[in-house]
Structures are given as structure tokens and as C-alpha cells.
Amino acid sequence: MSQKFQEIIDSERPVLIDFFATWCQPCKVQSSVLNTVKENVGEKARIIKIDIDQYPAIASQYNVRGVPTLAVFKKGELLYKESGVHDVNRLTQVLEQFM
């Protein structure tokens, strides 16, 4: 997965990574918010979900200490990272500044 992950974050368009866990209630709330964000940004950005229990090495590599943690990458560079549930407007603004 780490090679595939690297290919994903090396993208020319921004990639929002949602680090989540299946047992996490706030992550479920964040997931529904992300569906609306995806509608807002369309093909200008990509949204990927990474289960920290399935891919602990990736979570560790980016110091994900709590879930949900959202990170934005572009051309392999980490541009934004914050934990907690974000609202639609905030996430749409974050992505738009990197498009």
C-alpha cells in the first residue's frame, strides 16, 4: 500500500486523506461530510479514506495520533493536517486554496 499511497499523494491535484477507524463514531460523521465536500469540489480534488487499523505504518509515518485526522497532499507534499471533525465549508475552503 505504501507505494500505491505514494503514487496517490504525488498527484498534481490536491488529495484529501481521511485517516479513520471503523470503531470511531466521529469518523462516521466526518464521512458523511466528505460526501458533500466531494460534490462541491468535483474532479478538482481527490478524497481518499485510509483505515488506520489496516494501514498503521502509513498512519505512523504521518504522526496520526487521533481519528479522524484529515491531511491534504499535492505533488507528494503535506500541505495541511488537522485532527477532529471538520464541517463542509471548512474542508471545501481548505481544498480550494490548494487547487
Catalytic residues, which ones?
A: 24, 27
3-state secondary structure of 97: helix
Assess contact for 75 and 21: CB atoms under 8 A: no
CA 89 to chain centre: 15
Backbone phi, then psi, for 53, in 5-degree steps?
Answer: -80, -30
**Matching residue, cell 498503521:** 56
Please, what is the Cα angle at 79 between 17 and 62, to 5 degrees? 55
